[in-house]
Amino acid sequence: MNLLVCYTPLHVLIAERLLKLGKLENFYLLYICFNESEQHRFYYKRLAEIAPFGADFLVLPHDWRDPLRLIRWRQKNKELAPNFLISGNVKHMHSRLLAFFLGIKKFKTFDDGSGNIAINGYFSDLRENKISKILFSLISPSYLYVNIIKKIDRHFSIYPDENVYSRFGVLVEKIELFEKIKNVTEQNQGAVTIYIGHAFVETGLIAGEDAERLDRILFEKFSINYFLPHPRSRNLSFFPPMRKYASKSPLIAEEFVLSLLNYGKFVRIIGVNSSALLNLAFSRGVEIINIDLKTNLDSGALTASMNARKIKCINEADLLLTDEKIYI
């Protein structure tokens, strides 16, 4: 039996694909999130219904209390004895704490958005935050990230680009995220514009006032029909008028766009350095625009991947050059 740990709806989509391909079986699902949302619940329930050994959903405060909550979860599930931990993020301290509590020494991983193709990004950096480093150095150095990488049996990637884990000798297997995404119906039912939100404020990459300015510019320049807040975003949008266009659907961007395409819509998709744009970069029925926002996060690999897919990239300054509204 395996422990499958998901943190995001995209993790669920990838896990479902692995199931269909026969590369995931006999698992117990643990879905961990740090903010309660309909999207998290929706995707958890969908995968929990087919989890052979059961499932659980944990909302954690994302602070010093998290290890205590994971210990309590382990105490309530003493019968679990998984062989592998399977997750989209083993650099996350929570994944490695669970592995330590359960005595797991083998891992399988899959992409956590575009982070796994950011050659100089989060997953390629063997360092970890100070608290995590001190904790694992004390309880078991073998669970430090630099050592866990050596125990990854296989990594599944949804991108054709070079994966950072291949640089550490990990076997990387390419998979397609969707099998129907290139078989959409003819686009003869009108056009819509979708803005995919971000969580840069929550991750500390930009300030709230910068997020407000960005959303205001996009609101003023584009005729937006749907706003899809990021699953981790607590504020939806810092620009109140944008909130009126927030989708009520629990579907994340990839499946929301696919549903519109299958209905015959032509879709313009606007995102801000979003990996969802890569996941939606197929040829027919969509126009994709990336707003290249300069932050302290290295987005060079992401930009290169978007250029390779012929995704149009514009920056905030370019949007300010015209006073005209940009229609689809």
Task: Please report the pLDDT score of residue 184 as a whole number.
Answer: 60
Q: For residue 7, is it within any domain?
A: yes
Task: Tell me: do 42 and 166 sit in the same domain.
Answer: yes
Same domain, 147 and 277: no
Q: Domain of 24: which CATH number?
A: 3.30.370.20
**Residue 186 belongs to some domain of the structure:** no
Note whether 200 and 106 are same-domain residues: no
Residue 184 domain-assigned?
Answer: no
Could you tell me if 28 and 124 lie in one domain? yes
Look at residues 149, 174, 199 and tell me which one is the last residue of a structural domain: 174
Per-residue CA distances from 39 to 208, 213, 220, 232, 251 (Å)? 23, 26, 27, 10, 7
Query: How many domains is the chain built from?
Result: 2
Q: Based on the domain organization, do 65 and 23 belong to the same domain?
A: yes
Residues 242 and 168 in one domain: no
pLDDT at residue 148, rounded to an integer: 97
- Which pLDDT does position 303 carry in this prediction? 77
Q: Output the furthest CA–CA distance in the chain (Å, rounded).
A: 63
Q: Is residue 183 part of a domain?
A: no
Structural domain boundaries, residue 282: 191-320
pLDDT on residue 284: 72
pLDDT at position 300 is 66
The whole-number pLDDT of residue 322 equals 59
- 10-residue stretch averages of pLDDT, the chain, 328 residues long: 96 97 97 92 98 97 94 96 97 97 97 88 90 95 97 96 94 88 65 89 78 88 90 79 91 92 88 89 82 66 82 78 59
* pLDDT number for residue 180: 57
Closest by alpha carbon to 269, among 226, 229, 323, 217?
226
Query: Could you tell me if residue 181 is inside a domain?
Result: no
pLDDT at 101: 97
Q: Are residues 70 and 103 both part of a single domain?
A: yes
User: Which pLDDT value is given to residue 321?
Assistant: 65
- pLDDT given for residue 182 in this prediction: 52
180 domain-assigned: no
SS (H, E, C) the chain: CEEEEECCHHHHHHHHHHHHCCCCCCEEEEEEECCCCHHHHHHHHHHHCCCCCCEEEEECCCCCCHHHHHHHHHHHCCCCCCCEEEECCCCCHHHHHHHHHHCCCEEEEECCHHHHHCCCCCCCCCCCCHHHHHHHHHHCHHHCHHHHHHHEEEEEECCCCCCHHHHHCCCEEECCCCCCCCCCCCCCCCEEEEEECCCCCCCCCCCHHHHHHHHHHHHHHECCCEEECCCCCCCCCCCHHHHCCECCCCCCHHHHHHHHHHCCCEEEEEECCCHHHHHCCCCCCEEEEEECCCCCCCCHHHHHHHHHCCCEEECHHHHHCCCCCECC
Whether residue 17 is found in the same domain as residue 158: yes
